[in-house]
Amino acid sequence: MADYKNIYFIGIGGIGMSAIARYYNKKGYKVSGYDKTPSELTAALESEGIAVHYEDNVDFVPKDVEGTLVVYTPAIPHDMGELVYVNEHGYRVIKRSRTLGEIAKGQACLAVSGTHGKTTTSTLLAHIFQSSGEGCSAFLGGISKNYDTNLLTSANPVIVAEADEFDRSFLQLFPQIAVITSMDADHLDIYGDRKHIVEAFKAFAGQTSGYIIKKYGLEIGKEDTKAQILTYSYDNPDADFHASNISKDECGYFTFDLCYTGKVLGGCKVGVPGWVNVENAVAASAIALTYGIAPEKVREALASFQGVKRRFDIHVNTPECSYIDDYAHHPKEISSAISSMREIFSGRKLTAIFQPHLYTRTRDFADEFAQALSAVDKLILLDIYPAREEPIEGVDSSIIFDKVTCPDKVLLKKEELMDYLAQEPVDTLITFGAGNIDRFIEPITAMLKKRIEK
């Protein structure tokens, strides 16, 4: 990297891209880039001295070809003007995943992979390292609420990385220790079927040198990796790492004993509510303990963890009204979040707002989405957020809506949402989705708080 002066990012506002942009900015490179629309992330990058523009215009690309590295996200269309320009004019152009792989070389890489659960688990793992005094650099798929960033840096040569299976990105990493949280069918536009997803995870396991810590029951075997295989679970006593003696307080916060390799770390408490976060805590603790972090430091870090923005993120919580936002965009994630909501807010009416993400995912999992969403009392279903995709004929939110069986449901355009909510009684509310539904978090929160004050 010493040969480059400029690092130019095409798609700089993505959560993974922005972390790498911040990293190079801290290292003293001149960092700039393009994104389609302004956001909180791009505003934060600009406040840190990174130039960001929002039009596809090659005039913004640094003209020093030899001194410029171009990093792009595969979410960018291949015919995007700036991407075509740099490919045609001799720039070195690499994907985000390759960049992360190059950064990780020569350091101890602790990777968290899985079709869901990886962002909270990797953020919690990074917090354990920071809180313990060990320190790490971390490239996270969400904004840590403890540190208000998706990037941590440290002189300690340890990298915590969220290993993303999209576009087989995680095959650019060669971890010392890796967790695999799940291998559910997802990204079928890339993989075609679950068989090929499993094959990719097995290849990832084969690139891990020290330990694979897989969720109990996942089909990763000794034939797939030279690493030692350990297992974790929420509460299965047959797993190498699991929780026992689990109890929940009236606000949904869990206390438990962490059992591992014949030992017990008693009195653990996760600083965020929900049973799913106990499972995430077991996975993060498994890596930390296997690496060698002192058990009492792990326990302290779990208790002080504040969570990740948009991961079971509580914005309002009163007896009259509660509102949680969650990034969930896969049926399994939605089911887990609804299960946690039911456990925390037992007996209350649960309303969910869901914005489907991608036409292909909606098409491939319409039945599963409908089944998961049928577990709420009321569903408000929005139009599909297309992200990188063009429309597919016959695919819209109605193919989910028509199969949902909850007692009350309504199909809305996102422009109609706030007017609808203004007339809607709310007991417990959760917003789901990986698109731009996050733009509604602040207005919904303000509206509900104003309603409570009356």
pLDDT of amino acid 1: 60
Does residue 83 share a domain with residue 155?
no
Does residue 174 share a domain with residue 111?
yes
Give the burial class of 276: count Cβ atoms within 10 A of its Cβ; 0-12 exposed, 13-18 middle, 19 or more buried: buried
Gap between the Cα atoms of 14 and 148, Å rounded: 16
- Cα distances (Å, whole numbers) of residue 331 to 96, 326, 334: 27, 13, 5
Does residue 170 share a domain with residue 215?
yes
Does residue 113 share a domain with residue 72?
no
pLDDT of amino acid 186: 73
| Strand-pair partners of 323 | 316, 429
pLDDT of amino acid 245: 98
Does residue 446 lie in a domain region? yes
* 453 Cβ neighbours under 8 A, 6+ residues apart: none
- Cα distances (Å, whole numbers) of residue 233 to 128, 187, 245, 275, 384: 19, 25, 14, 12, 34
Does residue 251 share a domain with residue 292?
yes
- Select from 94, 127, 156 the last residue of a domain: 94
Domain that holds residue 142: 106-304
| Strand-pair partners of 313 | 325
Give the pair of three-digit tokens for residue 28.
């003293």
Does residue 287 share a domain with residue 166?
yes
- Cα distances (Å, whole numbers) of residue 363 to 190, 196, 360, 398, 437: 14, 19, 5, 11, 20
Does residue 81 share a domain with residue 163?
no
Does residue 160 lie in a domain region? yes
Does residue 332 share a domain with residue 292?
no
For helices 15-26 and 40-47, the axis angle rounded to 10 degrees is 0
Give the burial class of 335: count Cβ atoms within 10 A of its Cβ; 0-12 exposed, 13-18 middle, 19 or more buried: middle
Per-position pLDDT tens, the chain of length 454: 668 999 999 999 999 999 999 999 999 999 999 999 898 899 999 999 999 999 999 999 999 999 999 999 988 989 999 999 999 999 999 999 999 999 999 899 999 999 888 999 999 999 999 999 999 999 999 999 999 999 999 999 999 999 988 778 899 999 999 999 999 867 666 778 889 999 999 999 999 999 999 999 999 999 999 999 999 999 999 999 999 999 998 778 999 999 998 899 999 999 998 888 999 999 999 999 999 999 999 999 999 999 999 888 999 988 889 999 999 998 989 999 999 899 889 899 999 999 999 999 999 999 999 999 999 999 999 999 998 789 999 999 999 999 999 999 999 999 999 999 999 999 999 999 999 999 999 999 999 999 998 7
Phi-psi sector, 110: left (phi>0), alpha (psi -120 to 50), beta: beta
Are 8 and 70 a contacting pair, CB within 8 Å? yes
Give the pair of three-digit tokens for residue 22.
């911040």
pLDDT of amino acid 52: 98
Does residue 1 lie in a domain region? no
Gap between the Cα atoms of 271 and 165, Å rounded: 28
Does residue 83 lie in a domain region? yes
Residue type, 227: A
Q: Could you write out the three-class secondary structure of the chain?
A: CCCCCEEEEECCCCHHHHHHHHHHHHCCCEEEEECCCCCHHHHHHHHCCCEEECCCCHHHCCCCCCCEEEEECCCCCCCCHHHHHHHHCCCEEEEHHHHHHHHHCCCEEEEEECCCCHHHHHHHHHHHHHHHCCCCEEEEEEEECCCCEEEECCCCCEEEEEECCHHHHHHHCCCCEEEECCCCCCCHHHHCCHHHHHHHHHHHHHCCCCEEEEECCCCCCHHHCCCEEEEEECCCCCCCEEEEEEEECCCCCEEEEEEECCEEEEEEECCCCCHHHHHHHHHHHHHHHHHCCCHHHHHHHHHHCCCECCECEEEEECCCCEEEEECCCCHHHHHHHHHHHHHHCCCCCEEEEECCECHHHHHHCHHHHHHHHCCCCEEEECCCECCCCCCCCCCCCHHHHCCCCCCEEEECCHHHHHHHHHCCCCCEEEEECCCCHHHHHHHHHHHHHHHHHC
pLDDT of amino acid 187: 64
Does residue 389 share a domain with residue 433?
yes
Does residue 129 share a domain with residue 85?
no
Find the CATH number of the domain harbouring 41: 3.40.50.720
Find the CATH number of the domain harbouring 117: 3.40.1190.10
Does residue 213 share a domain with residue 270?
yes
Gap between the Cα atoms of 194 and 187, Å rounded: 9
Give the pair of three-digit tokens for residue 311.
């991961």
pLDDT of amino acid 339: 92
Does residue 422 lie in a domain region? yes
Does residue 344 lie in a domain region? yes
pLDDT of amino acid 2: 64
Does residue 297 share a domain with residue 264?
yes
- Select from 251, 274, 304 the last residue of a domain: 304
Does residue 101 lie in a domain region? no
Number of domains within the chain:
3
Are 371 and 391 a contacting pair, CB within 8 Å? no
Are 177 and 287 a contacting pair, CB within 8 Å? yes
Gap between the Cα atoms of 341 and 169, Å rounded: 32
- Select from 304, 331, 357 the last residue of a domain: 304
* 182 Cβ neighbours under 8 A, 6+ residues apart: 114, 115, 116, 117, 215, 218, 332
pLDDT tens, residue by residue, 243-296? 999 999 877 899 999 999 889 999 999 999 888 899 999 999 999 999 999 999
Does residue 240 lie in a domain region? yes
pTM: 0.86
